[in-house]
Structure 1
Amino acid sequence: MIPESLAESDLSGKELLRLAYVLVDDLVLLDGNPKLHDLGKISDSIIENGFLDPPKWDVNLNGGQGGIVEGNGRAETLKWMQDQGREVPRGITVNEQGLWAVPVIFGCDSRSEIAAKRYAIDHNNLVMAGGNFTALDMSKAYDAEAYIAMLQELQEQDNLPLTTDASDLETLLNVLNGQSESYDDDESPESFKEYGENIGTDYTCPKCSYS
């Protein structure tokens, strides 16, 4: 049932979104997309819950040829599932040739390709912006070099994402160049200092005088 408020609204002349089913094979991903995806986990979620989160198309991407601005991982996963002969999930339809069709959001395109790329980054990062995540934390969701390359491209056009400023980019560059903390918090040093109960330390306990 359509909500009464929507049914009575005058939507003519508005810049609106529309949903249309497109063959999975016709979807074009964002060229140079730095975002990393766990296709297996995405596939598990789609199988369990159905396909509930349509990707968004932007006409400005890929040099004006258009492409997916948000939902590249989901689109890639559906293509993989189709090619693997998986069961068709809820929310996906199949044509007479047995090819999958996926719902895609169209409309409200960005003002330019640069603006679309900025939105692509922000769409991912804003999910983490409500938590205690630093720019370095957010960057771990991306291929480091590809992410920085896209941020530098955006910076050159004075169009950095809302979730990343110039100081954040400088920090990421320092990390990539080995001038700051590593991306891998679990990385162990090549060797540890010698340890033993009889080895003296530079610290003396103020209560028991043990050193």
Structure 2
Amino acid sequence: MTTPPVQAPRWIAYMPLQALTPATRNPKLHELPLIKASIREHGFVDPVLIDERTGRSIAGHGRHEALVEMYADGEPVPDGVLLDDDGSWLLPVTRGWSSRTDAEADALIIKLNRITAQADWDRRMLAGMLEDLVTADASLFDSLAYTDDEMETLLRAAPAEAFGEEPALALTPDLGDDTSFNDDDNEEGPRLVRCPTCGDQFTPRRS
């Protein structure tokens, strides 16, 4: 006896870029330059989510908007996006989910963004990954768009007990053997971040 194939509750389909209709309300703002840069670097890797009841998108509005602008600007077809016979772009979307009411659709739009924003980081692990990135490929580190101040805040916020007797962060200029440096006297000078994971120093941003 042949077992009937299982009907997947969610599946990936490709639909025309211009045929995708955004939700009527989406309060999340988007860093479109960063989204477009990520798509150019890594391809389109996170499909848009469609609400089958309304036919509108529930998640991925920023990624969709970024693709619309990239298409209008005549950019090459990103990896993960297909080119239709008429030259239009086909983007992957997740199908199979249906809201029960407009209120549920609104709630999910907020929830999918809020859950991600509310979650914290394992700062010790993140610091190690960032140091590995800046050492292995500075351009990939720069694509994360961390500022010096963000790096300082991130590492200073790491729990002290996670690093034993070592300080969570040490910021020093590149002054060789001169130990008389005062942060207040050289705010414009180069700064190095000491990774709490391994103790190595590195410049947070590279031009």
**TM-score normalised by length of structure 1:** 0.53
Shift of 1:31: 1.0
SS in 2 for 1:102: strand
Q: Which has the higher strand share?
A: 2
Contact 1:37 1:73 in 2 (8 A): yes
TM-score between the two structures when normalised by the length of structure 2: 0.54
Q: 1: distance between equivalents of 2:63 and 2:51? A: 16
What whole-Å deviation, never above 9, does each CA across 1:122-161 have from its counterpart, x for those lacking one? 00010122229xxxxxxxxxxxxxxxxxxxxxxxxxxxxx
> RMSD across aligned C-alpha pairs, in angstroms?
1.8
Letter in 2 for 1:78: L
Match of 1:19, SS? strand
Would the aligned equivalents of 2:23 and 2:58 in 1 still touch at CA under 8 Å? yes
Corresponding residue for 2:169?
A: none
- Unpaired segments ≥5 residues, structure 1: 1-8, 133-211
The amino acid of 1:53's aligned partner reads D
Matches within 5 A, 1:150-161: none
State the alpha-carbon separation in 2 of the partners of residues 11 and 57 from structure 1: 24
User: Is the aligned partner of 1:88 residue 2:77?
Assistant: yes
How far 1:11 moved relative to its partner? Answer: 5.5
2:49 is matched with 56
Query: Which protein shows a greater Rg?
Result: 1
Q: Answer whether contact 1:39 1:73 (CA < 8 A) is retained.
A: yes
Give the letter aligned to residue 95 of structure 2: F
Of residues 115, 119, 122 in structure 1, which corresponds to 2:108? 119
Q: Deviations over 1:158-209 (max 9, x none)?
A: xxxxxxxxxxxxxxxxxxxxxxxxxxxxxxxxxxxxxxxxxxxxxxxxxxxx
Aligned twin of 2:38: 45
Total equivalences in the alignment: 119
1:1-211 to 2 correspondences below 5 Å: 12=6, 16-60=9-53, 64=54, 66-131=55-120
Q: Conserved in 1, the CA contact under 8 Å of 2:25 and 2:106?
A: no
Q: In percent, how many aligned pairs have the same letter?
A: 33
Distance 1:108 1:59 in 2: 6
Q: Unaligned 5+ residue runs, structure 2?
A: 122-207
